[in-house]
């Protein structure tokens, strides 16, 4: 599998087409020294060679500079053109003030070596003070009064000024999605949330989709590097998934990625390993039955890994009410 043309595209509510499968970049080691070739630099280059065109980035991941270098290298080699790529980035919680939004987006653009983004997301509904992870004496993020509704208006300005083609949200709950929709002139195209058979979030999915917002699944493989969940379970080792994988001669990871593709959810598995990148990209030549999809859905336990614990006390913390 090496051609990006086989990747299914989804259509956003503004008509923009986006690859349903992209590469996650969280914890792909950021640069240690300037000009050093790093894990993420190699990972993005191999992913482009394999056929990935959609990259899920964020200012918070502190590796956009290396991603930019890898993209520039592949454009220089003639392997891809900028317009064939779909680059997402995200606004971190310390930059929610309307005056900071455009400046922060431009900073990501500079690091990525691009003159526009394809998609820009508000990373979390919570807003915090200037330092990205500043905490009080109890180890909690320090909140501000900023409203994500004002932040959204500034996000809309970024579309108007051509800095990004689309805008969206991440980690927003149903109530927060509805609030955004009430004031939006430009609707979010996606809500990026934790999603896999242990946390299917079907109610949120239904509300988003009925309002023209697609879900993007983060942690689609169950974030194996975070260890077993609070019930001692590791998604990639789930026997039901193995049974289905054996039937199609696929790996458990491929089943988990295909699960999202079949339910129309954009999916962004992270891998820095070229063999696993290839495997994760090869999910187009089989179709699971409705019974198998239902079986995978039946694993749902609403268990989250990503809780943003230091932010649980903040006024806009999204997970105090389900979903």
Ligand X SMILES: O=C1CO[C@H](CO)[C@@H](O)[C@@H]1O
Task: Indicate the DSSP class of residue 137.
Answer: T
Residue 102, SS3?
A: helix
61 is catalytic: yes
In the chain, DSSP finds a helix count (H) and a strand count (E) of 10, 10
Instruction: Name which of 58, 83, 67 is nearest 218 in CA terms.
Output: 58
200 binds ligand NDP (CB under 6 A): no
Among residue numbers 74 through 113, which ones bind ligand NDP (CB under 6 A)? Answer: none
Between 25 and 108, CB nearer to ligand NDP = 25
Range list of β-strands (E), 69-134: 86-91, 117-122
**4 contact, one of ligand NDP, ligand X, none, CB 5-8 Å limit per kind:** none
* Contacting range for ligand NDP; rule: CB under 6 A; set: 1-9, 24-32, 132-140, 284-292: 24-32
Beta strands (DSSP E) in the chain are: 9-11, 17-19, 23-24, 54-56, 86-91, 117-122, 164-170, 190-194, 214-218, 266-267
Site string (257-276) toward ligand NDP, x via CB under 6 A: -----------xxxxxx--x
Q: Are 277 and 249 in contact (CB under 8 A)?
A: no
Annotated binding site for substrate: 123
For residue 190, state whether it binds ligand NDP (rule: CB under 6 A): no
Nearer to ligand X, 115 or 309 (CB): 309
C-beta closer to ligand NDP: residue 123 or 165? 123
From 18, 52, 61, 198, the catalytic residue: 61
The span from the CA of 219 to the CA of 226, in Å, is 10
Question: Cβ distance 54 to 84 under 8 Å?
Answer: no
- Please state the separation of Cα 175 from the chain's center in Å: 20
Minimal distance in Å, beta carbon 70 to ligand X? 20
CA dist., res. 221 & res. 236, Å (int): 7
Q: Which residue's CB is nearer to ligand X, number 30 or number 278?
A: 30
Binding to ligand NDP by CB under 6 A, coded x per residue (else -) over 106-125, reads -----------------x--
Binding-site positions = 123
CA distance 181 to 186: 9
**Looking at beta carbons only, is 53 or 123 nearer to ligand X?**
123
d(CA 89, CA 108): 7
Among 225, 243, 302, 312, binds ligand NDP (CB under 6 A): 225
DSSP string for 185-245: SS--SEEEEE-BTTB--HHHHHHHHHTT-EEEEESTT--GGG-S-TTS--GGG-HHHHHHH
Residue nearest to ligand NDP (CB): 24
Q: Nearest-CB residue to ligand X?
A: 26
Q: Which does 143 bind (CB under 5 to 8 A by kind): ligand NDP, ligand X, none?
A: none
Q: Which is nearer to ligand X, 170 or 252 (CB)?
A: 170
| Residue closest to 243 by CA, chosen among 202, 194, 291 | 291
Q: Count how many Cα atoms sit within 13 Å of the Cα of residue 28 in the half-sphere of its side chain.
A: 30
- Name the binder of 216 from ligand X, ligand NDP, none, CB < 5-8 A by kind: none
Q: Which residues contact ligand X by CB under 6 A?
A: 26, 58, 123, 306, 308
Residue 296: name its binding partner from ligand X, ligand NDP, none (Cβ under 5 to 8 Å by kind). Answer: none
Find the shortest distance in angstroms from Cβ 14 to ligand NDP: 21
Question: Residue from 7, 21, 24, 208 that binds ligand NDP (CB under 6 A)?
Answer: 24
Compute how many other C-beta atoms are within 10 angstroms of the C-beta atom of residue 302.
10
Would you name the residues annotated as active-site residues? 61
Residues near ligand NDP (CB under 6 A) are 24-26, 56, 123, 170-171, 192, 218-225, 236, 251, 253, 268-273, 276, 279-280, 306
């Amino acid at each position: 599998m090496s051609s990006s043309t086989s990747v299914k595209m989804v259509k956003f509510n503004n008509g923009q087409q986006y690859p349903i499968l992209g590469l996650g970049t969280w914890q792909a080691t950021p640069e240690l020294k300037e000009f050093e070739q790093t894990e993420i630099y190699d990972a993005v280059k191999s992913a482009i060679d394999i056929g990935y065109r959609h990259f899920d980035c964020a200012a918070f991941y502190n590796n956009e500079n290396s991603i930019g270098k890898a993209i520039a290298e592949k454009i220089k080699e003639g392997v891809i053109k900028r317009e064939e790529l779909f680059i997402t980035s995200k606004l971190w919680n310390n930059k929610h003030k309307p005056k900071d939004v455009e400046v922060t987006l431009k900073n990501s653009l500079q690091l990525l070596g691009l003159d526009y983004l394809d998609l820009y997301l508000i990373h979390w509904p919570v807003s915090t003070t200037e330092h990205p992870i500043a905490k009080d004496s109890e180890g909690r993020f320090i909140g501000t009064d900023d409203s994500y509704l004002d932040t959204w208006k500034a996000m809309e300005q970024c579309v108007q000024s051509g800095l990004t083609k689309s805008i969206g949200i991440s980690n927003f709950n149903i109530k927060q999605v509805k609030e955004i929709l009430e004031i939006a002139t430009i609707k979010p195209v996606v809500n990026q949330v934790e999603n896999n058979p242990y946390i299917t979030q079907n109610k949120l999915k239904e509300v988003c989709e009925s309002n023209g917002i697609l879900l993007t699944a983060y942690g689609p493989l169950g974030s194996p590097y975070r260890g077993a969940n609070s019930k001692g379970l590791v998604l990639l080792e789930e026997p039901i998934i193995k049974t289905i994988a054996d039937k199609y001669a696929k790996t458990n990871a491929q089943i988990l990625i295909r699960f999202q593709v079949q339910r129309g959810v954009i999916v962004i598995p992270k891998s820095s390993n070229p063999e696993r990148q290839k495997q994760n990209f090869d999910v187009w030549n089989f179709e699971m039955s409705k019974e198998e999809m239902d079986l995978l859905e039946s694993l749902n336990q609403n268990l989250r890994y990503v809780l943003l614990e230091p932010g649980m006390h903040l006024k806009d913390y999204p997970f105090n009410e389900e979903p």
